[in-house]
Structure 1
């Protein structure tokens, strides 16, 4: 063990100057094999190093220790060591060996999942992301791990702390797919269906040369959320990859059938489609969403009535919307009024419903603040896009690939991304 003891002495003897840290980094990389060969005996040495001062040395030892399987008896101590390290480590030093930091954090995530305590990993993983990021616009490989812990712990609101960031930098495409998919699930859990649809849309339409399983699962939920929110599934925008255009529907046929049944507006037909494919929906863990789709058909049938009639009896609403009774029609209309989905009044004396126009005049302080916030955000995004466009326009690799085909990518040809997601 003398070699490890000498290495620890070097770690303790070096401080935070850039030259010393650089020297230590070279020494640590040369010692990786030796550290891994003594992985099961590194714990006592970790206690001799201050992670806030000697972050880089501590990280190499901790990663080497975690490279071997960790016994159940050692798990508690390992988790405490990782939490302490994440909270106190130097941002500058971990960025010298980001792959080591990521490895430790992923093993930490795996351990809390195996113990069935995902909640314990949420705060440390959020801190790890912020320390690893160069800016909040960067998507790290830890983002999806963090969101997975939030999902498993059913702590959906914690996921919003990173989902509300605008992401412009993606290192690995798989991280993007998982981030969008898990983000969609978290927003579904919070019933933020507009945001969920935005996340799932980004997963389905992301560049891909071959279809991947994440995009397939995202498209299943994309269909269901689209039906719940808008009563229809939009066609693919033109910037969708050819791999997705060719294959997604064939891999999600029960969901496509559900959307087709929904479009015909008959509850009995939709219920039959759900019954036929119930086992598939159940195995995909989407049966709860499918039941919400079934319920939303009645809502959208009622909403269509507001576009045609000024007044209508509860009995007529029950007949047209295929509800069981005027009482059920009354309860659904009341719920929709409460949720702001329609504007109407019910005269219980004669059982008549009067439909009204949207009373919003767009002149309240709250609405003005909302519009101003949206405008400011769009201005920031516009500047960012202009900067990215300028950077790409000067990138030799991009220019050599695009060549004469550049004219094919005129922005006027692109379908717009829904702006309701702001």
Structure 2
């Protein structure tokens, strides 16, 4: 390998035109691997002579050699080196780093791992948020950085930050594991924001995604899917017909206690459900789902109040408290007010006599705002239909897809790392 000084000089002089970058890339490949990692400790000072933005490709090669040569970044300045990585991910040129995507992903992964080890996940959020669009070939592509970013948002309890990668449409997936983790962590982000319908949508995708055999991520997603289904709908819907039969059976076997919880919930008795939860709290705590289970218990009050609206036109707060097993009429009033605010029931409370009057849905679907909302939804669905038709056409001509079933590898339960569900 030529001297580090000569290599840095090449990086400085060949980071302009595409032709120069192609030549530089060839030189960097020759120096890559053990020769470069052998000099990892000496590389850090040379980074100061390079611009993360102008010399992104060369900077990436040197940075990745440092970052992956040792599990202890204190060898390279510790926190200062993390700042260097974060600055690079934020400032680098997307066009250049896409020439070496695997190295860029390695650097992102090192940053994620290190901030988790330091118990400072918030330090990795901004750099990885900047990294996501830079490594994407299109805004619709799912990358491994998506899941790394989402887990840092979960650890730091910065749930709203996670929305930056969750609100777009995903149509391109390279690795199944990326999709499962994206849906699982995304579902947890929405649970943290108490946006349960959106959480249910992502968890549903994780549970029903094509899988030749069960994986650990789908199992953990299924447990939360049952709980969120109860909160949103009061019941767990059957699996869609396209879901793998063997996966269905295996998920049920791994989540038997959650199925029993669903059965207890459907009986409508708050006392029985509370007893069941107390008896099995250790198992729910072991899965780190006890907090979500308690929200299921709380949702039973809401579900039982909704049932009352189907039977009565007016009812006293005292009667509501007695019917749904709340301790006081004041507790019933707080639940009713919260449900009215959330649009879950339509009612009014007469404070003078403590009576609740239940009403029909006042929405007539003819306001300007509603018409605009419907129009926007129609346009989005039309665009989505065209996109799906295009994807279907491309898949029907893809020889790799047509070979599915003969040459595709299988994914076993242990192929997926243990899911760090303890973070929620």
Q: Output the TM-score relative to the length of structure 1.
A: 0.91
- Structure 1 window deviating more from structure 2 (315-324 vs 271-280): it is 315-324
Q: Distance in 2 between the 1:360 and 1:354 partners?
A: 17
> 1:173 is matched with which residue: 163, 171, 176?
176
User: Does structure 2 retain, via aligned residues, the 8 Å contact 1:4–1:34?
Assistant: no
Corresponding residue SS for 1:346? strand
- 1:362 aligned residue: 365
Corresponding residue SS for 1:51? coil
- 2:36 aligned residue: 35
Q: Distance in 2 between the 1:219 and 1:300 partners?
A: 22
Shift, 1:124, TM fit = 1.0
**Pairwise CA RMSD:** 1.9
- 2:350 aligned residue: 347
The 5-angstrom pairing of residues 12-411 of structure 1 reads 12-32=12-32, 33-69=34-70, 70-72=72-74, 74-399=77-402, 401=404
Per-residue CA deviations over 1:241-270 (Å, capped at 9, x if unaligned) read 233212101101111111010011111110
Q: Distance in 1 between the 2:148 and 2:324 partners?
A: 43
- 1:420 aligned residue: none
Relative to structure 1, the CA distance from residue 399 to residue 114 in structure 2 (aligned partners, 3 Å threshold; closer, same or farther) is: closer
- 1:417 aligned residue: none
Q: Distance in 1 between the 2:399 and 2:7 partners?
A: 44
Structure 2 residue 8 is the aligned partner of structure 1 residue 5: no
Shift, 1:350, TM fit = 4.3
Size of the alignment, in residue pairs?
403
Relative to structure 1, the CA distance from residue 172 to residue 330 in structure 2 (aligned partners, 3 Å threshold; closer, same or farther) is: same
Q: Which has the higher contact order (CA 8 A, sep 6+)?
A: 2
Shift, 1:402, TM fit = 8.1
Q: Distance in 1 between the 2:147 and 2:116 partners?
A: 14
Q: Distance in 2 between the 1:213 and 1:401 partners?
A: 23
Shift, 1:327, TM fit = 3.8
Q: Distance in 1 between the 2:130 and 2:175 partners?
A: 21
User: Does structure 1 retain, via aligned residues, the 8 Å contact 2:207–2:218?
Assistant: yes
User: Does structure 2 retain, via aligned residues, the 8 Å contact 1:39–1:67?
Assistant: no
User: Does structure 1 retain, via aligned residues, the 8 Å contact 2:73–2:81?
Assistant: no
Per-residue CA deviations over 1:82-136 (Å, capped at 9, x if unaligned) read 1222232221111110000010111011122222222121111111111111221
- 1:419 aligned residue: none
- 1:416 aligned residue: none
Corresponding residue SS for 1:110? helix
User: Does structure 2 retain, via aligned residues, the 8 Å contact 1:181–1:199?
Assistant: yes
Shift, 1:326, TM fit = 3.6
Q: Distance in 1 between the 2:356 and 2:58 partners?
A: 72
Shift, 1:366, TM fit = 2.3
Corresponding residue SS for 2:123? helix
Corresponding residue SS for 2:78? helix
Q: Distance in 1 between the 2:356 and 2:306 partners?
A: 13
Relative to structure 1, the CA distance from residue 358 to residue 46 in structure 2 (aligned partners, 3 Å threshold; closer, same or farther) is: same
Q: Which residues of structure 1 form unaligned runs of 5+?
A: 404-422
Shift, 1:363, TM fit = 2.0
Per-residue CA deviations over 1:335-372 (Å, capped at 9, x if unaligned) read 32232211122334444322110111122232222212
Corresponding residue SS for 2:349? strand
